[in-house]
Amino acid sequence: MDYATETWQALARLRETAPLVQNITNYVAMDVAANTLLALGASPAMAHAVEEVEEFVGIAQALALNIGTLSPAWVQAMQLAAARALQLGKPWVLDPVGAGATQYRTRTAAALARQRPTVVRGNASEILALAGTGAATKGVDSTAASDDAREVARRLAAELGCVVAVTGAVDYVTDGRVERSVANGHPLMTRVTALGCSATAMVAAFCAVEDDALVATAQALAVLGLAGELAARQAAGPGSLRLHLLDALYRLDEATVTAGVRIG
């Protein structure tokens, strides 16, 4: 079966089972990430208190951790949640937002990456920083193309024993041996905040319905990129792109997915 058909089947399973995806994410992304998961068909929850994160992981099907607006109390909650997910065998995904921008971010991302995530998803600058190959970054936007981080991602995946996804004009997903590329997406998506964070949340959602994390990650990125392409056809700018993207995610049907997904 081809990748696009597999992607449709995963999306259909996701909509049918509506997995609960727990997010400990940044303040900027909370609204759009929750809406992305709802439009996709998942059930999002945001819970970050040390008093409840571990118990929450127990009822969730997948976990997404994102350090976009990190602070010590939130990092502690992320570490507890990650440890619990590992213990329970539930997939968890790390988004090392802004790794390389400050030592605190780089250090925190590296520490979480050592807790055996299922998937790490970042832009090229973040993946390079996480691998210790860091050129200077520019805040939370990448200064490198995804292609530049491809080989580093492969080595990082092998070292961490997880899947690493570098997103950009083309996304590269690798487990250290196999690589898949995803050629969906649209440049206007970079003008809408937190779509990278939403991608991470969607990777977690797909990991809840597809055991092969490499496959699940490529599927999630392809579905988001495809929705972005469809949205860009109708959008007059980044405001309308975001709206149409949520509508497109909600409306994706078999014909559109099987014809539009470009996983290679």
Tell the residue number behind the tokens 């049918």, with chain if given. Answer: 16
Pairwise CA distance, residues 239 & 254, whole Å: 27
Per-residue binding letters, 36-55, with its own copies (x by CB under 8 A): --xx---xxxxxxx-xx--x
One residue of 10, 30, 78, 263 binding its own copies per CB under 8 A: 30
One residue of 4, 14, 62, 101 binding its own copies per CB under 8 A: 101
Tell the residue number behind the tokens 């065998």, with chain if given. Answer: 89
Helix (H, G, I), strand (E, B) or coil at 160: helix
Task: Specify the length of the chain in residues.
Answer: 264
DSSP 165-230: EEESSSEEEESSS-EEEE----GGGGGSTTHHHHHHHHHHHHHTT-S-HHHHHHHHHHHHHHHHHH
* Torsion from C-alpha of 2, 252, 38, 33, nearest 10 degrees: 70
Specify whether the CB–CB gap between 66 and 23 falls below 8 A. Answer: yes
One residue of 209, 225, 244, 257 binding its own copies per CB under 8 A: 244
One residue of 16, 87, 102, 151 binding its own copies per CB under 8 A: 102
Instruction: Indicate the residue among 54 and 179 with the shorter CB distance to its own copies.
Output: 54
Pairwise CA distance, residues 177 & 170, whole Å: 19
- Closest distance to its own copies from the beta carbon of 29 (Å): 8
Residue 211 within binding range of its own copies, rule CB under 8 A: no
Residue 96 within binding range of its own copies, rule CB under 8 A: no
Residue 60 within binding range of its own copies, rule CB under 8 A: yes
Residue 213 within binding range of its own copies, rule CB under 8 A: no
- Closest distance to its own copies from the beta carbon of 89 (Å): 19
* Count of residues in contact with its own copies, rule CB under 8 A: 64
Listed ranges 80-88, 110-118, 229-237, 254-262: which one lies at the site for its own copies (CB under 8 A)? 229-237
Listed ranges 84-92, 102-110, 148-156, 157-165: which one lies at the site for its own copies (CB under 8 A)? 102-110
Residue 194 within binding range of its own copies, rule CB under 8 A: yes
Specify whether the CB–CB gap between 164 and 119 falls below 8 A. Answer: yes
Helix (H, G, I), strand (E, B) or coil at 154: helix
One residue of 14, 99, 119, 140 binding its own copies per CB under 8 A: 140
Q: Which of 210, 125, 195 is nearest to 163 (CA)?
A: 210
Pairwise CA distance, residues 5 & 261, whole Å: 9
Listed ranges 3-11, 82-90, 113-121, 138-146: which one lies at the site for its own copies (CB under 8 A)? 138-146
Pairwise CA distance, residues 91 & 117, whole Å: 7
Residue 56 within binding range of its own copies, rule CB under 8 A: yes
Binding site for its own copies (CB under 8 A): 20, 22, 26-28, 30-32, 34-35, 38-39, 43-49, 51-52, 55-56, 59-60, 68-73, 98, 101-105, 136-141, 190-194, 235-240, 242-251
